[in-house]
Amino acid sequence: MGSNTTEAHPIIANRMKKAAKAGLKIIVIDPRKIEMTKVAHRHLQINVGTDIALINAMIRIILKEGLFNEEFIRQFTSELEALKKLVEPYTPEFAATITGLTPEEIDLTAREYASAGKAMIAYTLGITEHHCGVNNVFDIANLALLTGHIGREGTGIMPLRGQNNVQGAGDMGCLPNQLAGAISLSNDEYRKRYEEEWQIVLNPQAGDTQTRTFDKIESGEVKALYVIGENPLMADVHMNHTKKLLENLDLLIVQDIFLTETAKMADVVLPARSWGEVDGTYTNTDRRIQRVRKAIEPHPNTKEDWEILCEISTRMNYPMNYNSSEDIWNEVRKLAWEMYGGISYRRLDQEYSIHYPCPDENHPGTFIMHERFHQSENEIQTKSTFVPVEYTPPLEMPDEEYPFMLTTGRRYESYNTHTQTRHYAAGVKIKQTEETVDIHPDDAALLGILDGEVVKVQSRRGELQVKTKVTEQVVPGLVFMSFHWSEVPTNILTLNEFDPISGTAEFKACAVKISKISA
Amino acid sequence: MSETNVVKTVCGYCGTGCGLILEVENNRIMKIRGDKDAPVNKGQTCVKGAFAYEYVHAKNRLTAPLIRKAGELVETTWEEAYQFIVEKLTSIKTNFGAKSISLFACARSTNESNYVTQKFMRTAIGSNNIDGCNRT
């Protein structure tokens, strides 16, 4: 669901395609006719942002037809009645009017998912980059709990991670609400463990997410921002607004390997080291810890991220000193031992990768999470609650003035704001060398636009010029762009709205108009 | 001819975590291939993992701290950059509280750097305003 796996996670897609050849049924749920649909058993070409209408209808069918896992629900879940009540209005016919699918497609999909021996849901930002991103995830979890498709090999919910160490950065505590080991700051016992090791009293109140930080820069409450290896000016929604906010700051520190668009606005820029120049570990999308190793000697006037932070910290009267990344990792292993205690560099060198949790050196690591769902009933401490959620449409729907829905995403050869993938090895043929707005042939014909023609794309927030790519990958009324090229800053168009719980912005839906550029 | 060093590592792009083998000559990455022993990719790579590594050697890499003087970013020393940062952060913290300082961490950096990043924010600064690009 909402994952263009072939382009964003090509190697995972290869494994999916191989499995499809061996008989795995893949159902693609995506507004675009992405490449994965070629090997799919079915493609539900859903309207942008209507996932909950689809899932609620599927839940309703599974309940009505008795396809749920009764024993699993009794033992491990609660609040089924609330879920039943909420999904009642979501008949396949009603969901069809919202999603643009047929009632039959919805019915078949529900039956197949529920009655499969093993079924897994993999999703990416097509699920989370909505104002209702958290609700989308809740509803996926409802579906998995209803059918018991969780906690066994070949089942479960698999969010595919976009960055090499998104999982690890969060797990290490680079989130406003949790410490390393992914435990809440409000957990007194756990916080105390850190307070003792760090010799400091910690604030138990969660801090601000990125989107809330932007709000607080606007209100003047946040004065200083330190940005490490990230290009928020290009990557975040509503670029003109982001730019104003960054200008508002008393202090902007950027630590990066390139003078990015964000770095150009900074008061001070610190030259960091890149992949290939550092030692350490990454945590991949399925909780594997793996070693990243230094391959070349970096420029002597650059420093590693942790080295810079230690030096600033020490100058701010909180001395931090480490000899190596292994030294740091061993502190993590000591403090968050339930997760990483057994994952030493020595073992990683021998075993290649270990899945956390791995509490001690003799523990093999945890290949499958949530196995507790298949243990005996009396071992279960807490039940998992169904969280019923209502469908809410995208916050800016196309209208007469802005008749197209713009959805954004990634392309195969480029990576995020493209500061790195601009530098391909010599001789590599790149297919997409500049941004395009991908538009359906019918819409292009109506507007009198030819493939490759430069057009103007406008939203209520900004406008830009971009080449068109006429393609049946999108449906009429829908256009697609990526945010890889600073020459065509797509996020000038996107909407400054975000999920109230996660703070993730609605990158996937906003209204635009497209017009010819008069000669 | 200098000899080729072979370094086993993990790709730095998406979250799949493919094992790679880097061939290094004269301190330059010459070639990248998939590591057949890697549990995730078993020798495969995508176009980014295999070929998009020249950025490491790019001429426009930052090699000195920059500081804004009279509106322009100009090269400076680490010591001057640190002094500026420490003075500014300390004064903002004193006048407006630790809450007025936020940090965006890097989901491309190592676990070790990320651990130190959050430790820095929660100790030296005393603020939990730390988040990553997890949401984009």
Q: What is the pLDDT of residues B108-123, one digit of tens each?
A: 999 999 999 999 999 9
Q: Which of A134, A172, A186, A508 to mutate to test the interface with B (most CBs of B within 10 A)?
A: A172
Say which of A223, A236, A250 has its CB closest to residue B136.
Answer: A236
User: Is residue A362 assigned to a domain?
Assistant: no
The pTM assigned to this predicted structure is: 0.95
Q: What CATH number does the domain containing A114 carry?
A: 3.40.228.10
Q: Looking at residue B116, what is its pLDDT?
A: 98
SS3 of A357-399: the string is CCCCCCCCCCCCCCHHHHCCHHHCCCCEECCCCCCCCCCCCCC
| Domain final residue pick, A140, A160, A180 | A160
Say whether both A34 and A20 belong to one domain.
yes
Say whether both A329 and A429 belong to one domain.
no
How many Å apart are CA B36 and CA A445, to the nearest integer?
48
**d(CA A289, nearest CA chain B) in Å:** 9
Say whether both A177 and A148 belong to one domain.
no
Q: What CATH number does the domain containing A182 carry?
A: 3.40.50.740
Q: What are the structure tokens assigned to A122, written together? A: 């993999």
Q: pLDDT per residue over A115-139, tens digit each? A: 999 999 999 999 999 999 999 999 9
- Chain B contact present for A176, CB below 8 A: yes
Q: Look at residue B59 and tell me whether its pLDDT is greater than 80.
A: yes
- Chain B contact present for A10, CB below 8 A: yes
How many Å apart are CA A345 and CA A333, to the nearest integer?
11
* Residue A435 DSSP SS3: coil
- Cβ–Cβ gap B117/A422 under 8 Å: no
Count of CB atoms situated within 10 Å of the CB of A31: 25
User: Is residue A389 assigned to a domain?
Assistant: no
User: Is residue A111 assigned to a domain?
Assistant: yes
- Cβ–Cβ gap A207/B110 under 8 Å: no
**d(CA B132, nearest CA chain A) in Å:** 6
ipTM above 0.90, yes or no: yes
Instruction: Please give the C-alpha separations between residue A101 and each of A61, A106, A451, in angstroms, as whole numbers.
Output: 15, 7, 28
- Cβ–Cβ gap B102/A216 under 8 Å: yes
Task: Kindly state the average pLDDT of the residues B44-68.
Answer: 97
Task: Kindly state the average pLDDT of the residues A383-398.
Answer: 96
Average pLDDT of every residue of chain B: 95
- Chain B contact present for A358, CB below 8 A: no
Say whether both A424 and A479 belong to one domain.
yes
Task: Kindly state the average pLDDT of the residues A412-422.
Answer: 90
Count of CB atoms situated within 10 Å of the CB of A89: 13
Q: Which residues of B touch A309 (CB under 8 A)?
A: 113, 116-117, 120
Q: CB–CB of A469/A426 below 8 Å? A: no
How many Å apart are CA A369 and CA A152, to the nearest integer?
8
Q: pLDDT per residue over A311-328, tens digit each? A: 999 999 999 999 999 999
- Cβ–Cβ gap B131/A305 under 8 Å: no
Q: Look at residue B136 and tell me whether its pLDDT is greater than 60.
A: no
As a whole-number percent, the residues of chain A with pLDDT over 90 amount to 93
Could you tell me how far CA B25 lies from the centroid of its own chain? 23
Q: Looking at residue A380, what is its pLDDT?
A: 63
- Chain B contact present for A234, CB below 8 A: no
Q: Looking at residue A129, what is its pLDDT?
A: 95
Comparing A93-97, A247-251, A338-342, A369-373, the range with the smallest average pLDDT is A369-373
Comparing A378-382, A388-392, A442-446, the range with the smallest average pLDDT is A378-382
User: Is residue A454 assigned to a domain?
Assistant: yes
| Domain final residue pick, A321, A355, A389 | A355
- How many domains are there within chain A? 3
Residue A338: pLDDT band (50, 70, 90) is very high
Q: Which residues of B touch A322 (CB under 8 A)?
A: 116
Q: Look at residue A381 and tell me whether its pLDDT is greater than 70.
A: no
Say which of B8, B12, B116 has its CB closest to residue A309.
Answer: B116
Comparing A63-67, A230-234, A509-513, B112-116, the range with the smallest average pLDDT is A230-234
Task: Kindly state the average pLDDT of the residues A71-87.
Answer: 96
User: Is residue A361 assigned to a domain?
Assistant: no
Comparing A162-166, A269-273, A286-290, A426-430, the range with the smallest average pLDDT is A426-430
Q: What CATH number does the domain containing A428 carry?
A: 2.40.40.20
- Cβ–Cβ gap A421/B41 under 8 Å: no
Residue A374: pLDDT band (50, 70, 90) is confident
Domains in chain B: ranges and CATH: 5-57 (2.20.25.90), 66-135 (no CATH)
How many Å apart are CA A338 and CA A333, to the nearest integer?
8
Residue B2: pLDDT band (50, 70, 90) is low
How many Å apart are CA A334 and CA A340, to the nearest integer?
8
Q: Look at residue B132 and tell me whether its pLDDT is greater than 90.
A: no
Say whether both A78 and A179 belong to one domain.
no
Say whether both A189 and A297 belong to one domain.
yes
Say which of B64, B123, B129 has its CB closest to residue A213.
Answer: B129
- Residue A178 belongs to what domain range? 166-355
If one compares A486 and A377, the residue with the highest pLDDT of the two is: A486
- Cβ–Cβ gap A228/B62 under 8 Å: no
Q: Looking at residue A372, what is its pLDDT?
A: 81
Say whether both A48 and A141 belong to one domain.
yes
Bridge partners of residue A280, in order along the sequence = A292
Q: Look at residue B135 and tell me whether its pLDDT is greater than 70.
A: no
Task: Kindly state the average pLDDT of the residues B31-51.
Answer: 97
User: Is residue A489 assigned to a domain?
Assistant: yes
User: Is residue A340 assigned to a domain?
Assistant: yes
Say whether both A124 and A188 belong to one domain.
no
Rg (CA), chain A: 24
* Residue B57 DSSP SS3: helix
- Cβ–Cβ gap A259/B60 under 8 Å: yes
Residue A295: pLDDT band (50, 70, 90) is very high
Which residue's structure tokens are 């094992």? B19
User: Is residue A398 assigned to a domain?
Assistant: no
Q: CB–CB of A63/A84 below 8 Å? A: yes
As a whole-number percent, the residues of chain A with pLDDT over 70 amount to 99
Q: pLDDT per residue over A463-503, tens digit each? A: 999 999 999 999 999 999 999 999 999 999 999 999 999 88
- Cβ–Cβ gap A277/B108 under 8 Å: no
Say whether both A89 and A56 belong to one domain.
yes
Torsion of CA B124, A247, A244, A177, to 10 degrees: 0
Say whether both A418 and A348 belong to one domain.
no
Q: Looking at residue A12, what is its pLDDT?
A: 97
**What are the φ/ψ torsions at residue A476 (nearest 5 degrees)?**
-55, 140
Say whether both A336 and A485 belong to one domain.
no
How many Å apart are CA A224 and CA A119, to the nearest integer?
47
Say whether both A153 and A179 belong to one domain.
no
Q: Looking at residue A371, what is its pLDDT?
A: 85
Average pLDDT of every residue of chain A: 96
